[in-house]
Chains A and B, each alone.
Chain A
Amino acid sequence: MVDLATKSLLHDRLRFLITVSGVAFAVTLVFVQVGLFLGLLDNASITIDHVSADLWVTSRNTPNVDFAHTFPETSVQRVRSVPGVARADNLIIWFMTVNLPSGAQEGTLVYALEDFRSWNIPWNVESGNLDDLKRGQYFFLDASAVKRYGPFSTGEYREILGQRMKIIGRTQDARSFTTTPISFMDFDRAQRLSPDLLKNRTTYILVKLAPGADPAAVKAEIARRLPYNDVYTKKEWAARSRRYWVQSTGIGLNMYITVFLGCLVGVVVVAQTLYTSTMEHIKEFGTVKAIGGGNLDIYRILGKQASIAAVAGFVLGSLMAYAMRPAIAKIDLKLIIPPTFAAAVFVGSIAMCLAAALISFRKVASIDPALVFRT
């Protein structure tokens, strides 16, 4: 079968390029905007996602993982006695100020545990031994702190809440939504750094379930025993932390608006070029009708052309978005494009182009085949 749709589309290369560019622009914009959004949200829950806890016990109405409130550390005993709990430990996540050698003051989000290894945090240790944290005024600092603190290396000292602390290890990939650098130290050390606020207090209890335990039942029982706390599954807690930032900062709305505008530009460019092309080839479509073709034959041609533009635009747009990843990483941002999202954008691109072709469909439906006789 002769492929009139493809051959006609490629015959006018400049127009094809413009159409593909329109789709590619929309695809790139959607990938970059949503990718950055997902990257930011990933930071909002990255520690929750990596900590190997099945349940999180928080103080009542804690909005997200970074904004913790304290409650008595002895609550952990009650959790440990709940049937189905294999292990439960206190975790402090607390904002503390850091004095830098430059004289500037910065913040750090301290993660404090008695046994980091049991909870898979930090999950990417670049240097240092976590067991050494118990041996003195030591802490691990995530490499991302370089941006806020300037260069640092293990063996150096920084003042945290006025106390001299030695950096004995570096981690990677531990981020907070607010970009406040994350540091890791022993649970007792953190309490001693801020005794007024943290003595005999904790901010979270991490819970690991026994094999075969029913998460819903254990969760309900913990909630019953700790009526002034909230209990979340890992998934619920991560979602709550992400949702807080989406709702409170307007980044969600910003993303939706940009994605909408990107799609709108794509639809307008594709619709405009397809419609102009249709008008320029109207006599050819009239000829298709005159030689016995129907509207359906022409819809197929337009639909195929729109789909080809969509696929080519998607490929080009994806390549452009992926090409931007290293540059985005350099400014410490992440572009996360999950395969399911890429598939959704692919389907969306085709839907967008077919929607853009609808205007041409309407025009074609009204073609008078007698126009083939006009000069």
Chain B
Amino acid sequence: MTTVLEATDVFKEFQEGRGEVVQVLRGVSLSLSRGEIVGLEGPSGSGKTTLLSILGCILTASSGRVVVDGEDADPRRPSRLPAIRRKSIGFVFQQFNLFPALTALENVEYALNVKGVGGDDARREAERVLDAVGLSDRRHFLPRDLSGGQKQRVAIARALSGRSPILLADEPTANLDSQIGAQVLELFRALAKKEHRALLVVTHDPKVRTICDRMLRIRDGQVAADGIAA
């Protein structure tokens, strides 16, 4: 399988008030391949979200190396990071983070516009991914008129749009009830597999394990275990 995301010996430090340095990540290494679904779990404060932010090129590592779809996310060139995000990464957030003024279709289409896809191409692609997540009939609904599960499916459609090879999801089921959460996870798994995307899911939810090929456990800023999901 082709490796699309690789982190090697990643450290991350934050300066807190009064000059105190907090080390959040301490030498994390991992890799993701196309079509692979990996879960990332760990207690609160273990560095999961920081790692996700670095892998998603939202934050830069203090040291170590991150290669995204063959491109080095060099912390010395932070201006390159938005371009890497546009080209290679799709996000799904715990709070969905949809634009409340845009319909489901427009939310997806706008993400495509940001990625440089416009006009009819964006409209067709947005309709395709909304159809894939089963929301064709809700495409003209504003987020306020959608249920939590539907909102998360729009968020998944947005992440899938533009054919980014890497999908990063932060607690995608945290705001959904268990039944809807299970449906969303299954949908996410099926689409990621079908379209050969690499999917990294940060979670506290034990059900997520059921869709993962591999589980990573992070503790005190280090990967404590990397193994086949149970």
**Chain A contact residues, CB within 8 Å of chain B:** 1-2, 4, 7-8, 10-11, 283-284, 286-294, 297, 369-370, 372-373, 375
Contacts and interface: CB of A to CB of B under 8 A. Distances in A.
B56 interface: yes
B86 interface: yes
B93 A294 contact: no
Contacts of A1: 113, 118-119, 122
Interface centre among A287, A369, A372 (most CB of B within 10 A): A287
A375 B93 CA distance: 10
Interface stretch (B97-105, B130-138, B186-194): B97-105
Given A2-B109, A375-B94, A290 B58 contact: yes
A2 B110 contact: yes
Interface string B9-38: 000000000000000000000000000000
A11 B52 CA distance: 32
B108 to A, nearest CB: 9
Given A290-B85, A370-B58, A373-B93, A11 B49 contact: no
A4 B115 contact: no
A185 to B, nearest CB: 70
17 contacts: A1-B113, A2-B106, A4-B99, A4-B102, A11-B101, A283-B97, A284-B97, A287-B99, A289-B58, A290-B56, A291-B111, A291-B114, A291-B158, A292-B85, A372-B58, A373-B52, A373-B53
B95 interface: yes
Contacts of B59: 370
B101 A8 contact: yes
Given A2-B113, A10-B101, 11 more contacts: A4-B102, A7-B106, A11-B101, A284-B97, A286-B97, A290-B91, A290-B97, A291-B85, A291-B90, A292-B86, A293-B114
A373 B101 contact: no
A309 to B, nearest CB: 16
A214 B33 CA distance: 88
Contacts of B100: 11, 284
Contacts of A286: 97
Contacts of B114: 288, 291-293, 297
Contact of A369 (B58, B101, B106): B58
B146 to A, nearest CB: 15
Contacts of B43: none
Contacts of A283: 95, 97
Contacts of A10: 101
B170 interface: yes
A4 B99 CA distance: 8
Contacts of B91: 290-291, 372
